[in-house]
C-alpha cells in the first residue's frame, strides 16, 4: 500500500489489484474440517450399523425366545384341554386358524426346539416356523413342509445339518423322527420342493417326508436353503392327564 496526500487528508490507496488468493495456511484448516465432518458421519453410520446388527443378533433373538415360550405354553394348554385323541381326519386338523400353534419341532444338532404355527404369512413367521398350508401333516404320506426366517433363534444355522441328523416332530399323540438329507440350494421359484414327492409334482407319494425351507445366504434372500428328510419312526406318546 502507498499513502498519498489529497489536500489536508491522507488517503490510503492500493498499489495494485486486490489479492483474493487464499494461502495454504488458510486452506489447510478448511480441508481438515471437511475431513473431520466426513469422519464423524462415518463413525455415526458405523455405530448405527453395529446397533442394527446387535439388535438382529441379540435383541431379536430375545423377542423370538419370548414369543416361542408363549406359543409353547399355548400349545401345551391346548393339548391338555383336549379330552379325546387328535382327529384322524387330516381335514379336521388342517382347520386350525393361521398363526395357531400346532406341533413342536426340534433338531438336536442345532440344540433348538420350536413351536410351529399354522401358515407361512409374514405375521405367522415373525417369531416361529410355519407349516405350509396344503402340505401334508406329520407322519402322513407326502411332504410335511415348514418355513422359517434365516434369523438367530430360528433357522439361522440350518446349513450345518448333515445327512443322517435327526429332525424330531411332536404332535399331541405321536413323536416322529425324520432322518435328514444333506442341505441343498434352490431358486426361490423352485416350488416343486414342496410337492408331496419333492421335485416331482404330480407324483403319488409312497413315503412320509419333511422339508424345511429358509432364505439363503444369511442376511439375504436370493436363494433358498432346503433340508429334506424321510420318516424313520412314529412312536405314540403317553396320553396326557384326562385322555382316554
pLDDT, tens only, 40-74: 777 777 765 665 555 555 568 999 999 999 999 99
- Four-point Cα dihedral 122, 145, 189, 216, nearest 10: 70
Q: What is the mean pLDDT of residues 153-172?
A: 98
Active site residues: 149, 215
Cα of 239 vs its chain's centroid, Å = 34
Rounded Cα–Cα distance for residues 142 and 135 (Å): 8
- Can you give 86-151 as a three-state secondary structure string? CCCCHHHHHCCCCCCEEEEEEEHHHCEEEEEEECCCCCCCCCCCEECECECCCCCCEEEEEECCCC
Quote the pTM value. 0.74
pLDDT in tens, 205-221: 999 999 999 999 998 99
Q: For residues 161 and 227, is the Cβ–Cβ distance under 8 A?
A: yes
CB atoms within 10 A of CB 64: 20
Q: What is the mean pLDDT of residues 147-157?
A: 97
Confidence (pLDDT) at 44: 76
The ranges assigned to domains in the chain are 58-83+98-236
CB-based contacts of 87, cutoff 8 Å, min separation 6: 93
Pick the CATH number of 58-83+98-236 from 3.90.660.10, 2.40.260.10, 3.50.30.30, 2.70.150.10: 2.40.260.10
Please, which pLDDT band fits residue 24 given cuts at 50, 70 and 90? Answer: low
pLDDT at residue 95 greater than cutoff 80: no
Rounded Cα–Cα distance for residues 160 and 147 (Å): 17
Please, which pLDDT band fits residue 4 given cuts at 50, 70 and 90? Answer: very low
CB-based contacts of 14, cutoff 8 Å, min separation 6: 1
Cell 416331482, residue located: 200
Q: Which residue has the higher pLDDT, 226 or 21?
A: 226
103: cell is 406341533
170-207 as b/e: b if 16+ CB within 10 A: bbbbbbbebbbbebeebeeebeebbbbbbeeeeeebee
pLDDT in tens, 130-146: 999 999 999 999 999 99
Confidence (pLDDT) at 31: 80
Rounded Cα–Cα distance for residues 171 and 96 (Å): 14
Amino acid at each position: 500500500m502507498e499513502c498519498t496526500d489529497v489536500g489536508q487528508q491522507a488517503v490510503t490507496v492500493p498499489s495494485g489489484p486486490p489479492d483474493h488468493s487464499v494461502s495454504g495456511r488458510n486452506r489447510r484448516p478448511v480441508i481438515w474440517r471437511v475431513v473431520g465432518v466426513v469422519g464423524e458421519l462415518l463413525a455415526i453410520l458405523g455405530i448405527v450399523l453395529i446397533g442394527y446388527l446387535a439388535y438382529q443378533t441379540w435383541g431379536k433373538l430375545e423377542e423370538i425366545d419370548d414369543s416361542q415360550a408363549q406359543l409353547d405354553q399355548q400349545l401345551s394348554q391346548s393339548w391338555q384341554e383336549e379330552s379325546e385323541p387328535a382327529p384322524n381326519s387330516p381335514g379336521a386338523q388342517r382347520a386350525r386358524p393361521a398363526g395357531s400353534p400346532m406341533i413342536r419341532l426340534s433338531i438336536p444338532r442345532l440344540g433348538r426346539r420350536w413351536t410351529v404355527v399354522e401358515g407361512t404369512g409374514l405375521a405367522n413367521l415373525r417369531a416361529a416356523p410355519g407349516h405350509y398350508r396344503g402340505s401334508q401333516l406329520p407322519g402322513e404320506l407326502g411332504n410335511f413342509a415348514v418355513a422359517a426366517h434365516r434369523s438367530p433363534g430360528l433357522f439361522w444355522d440350518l446349513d450345518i445339518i448333515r445327512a443322517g441328523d435327526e429332525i424330531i416332530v411332536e404332535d399331541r399323540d405321536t413323536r416322529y423322527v425324520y432322518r435328514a438329507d444333506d442341505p441343498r440350494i434352490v431358486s426361490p421359484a423352485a416350488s416343486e420342493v414342496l410337492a408331496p414327492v419333492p421335485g416331482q409334482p404330480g407324483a403319488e407319494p409312497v413315503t412320509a417326508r419333511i422339508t424345511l425351507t429358509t432364505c439363503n445366504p444369511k442376511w439375504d434372500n436370493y436363494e433358498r436353503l432346503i433340508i429334506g428328510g424321510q420318516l424313520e419312526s412314529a412312536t405314540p406318546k403317553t396320553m396326557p392327564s384326562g385322555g382316554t
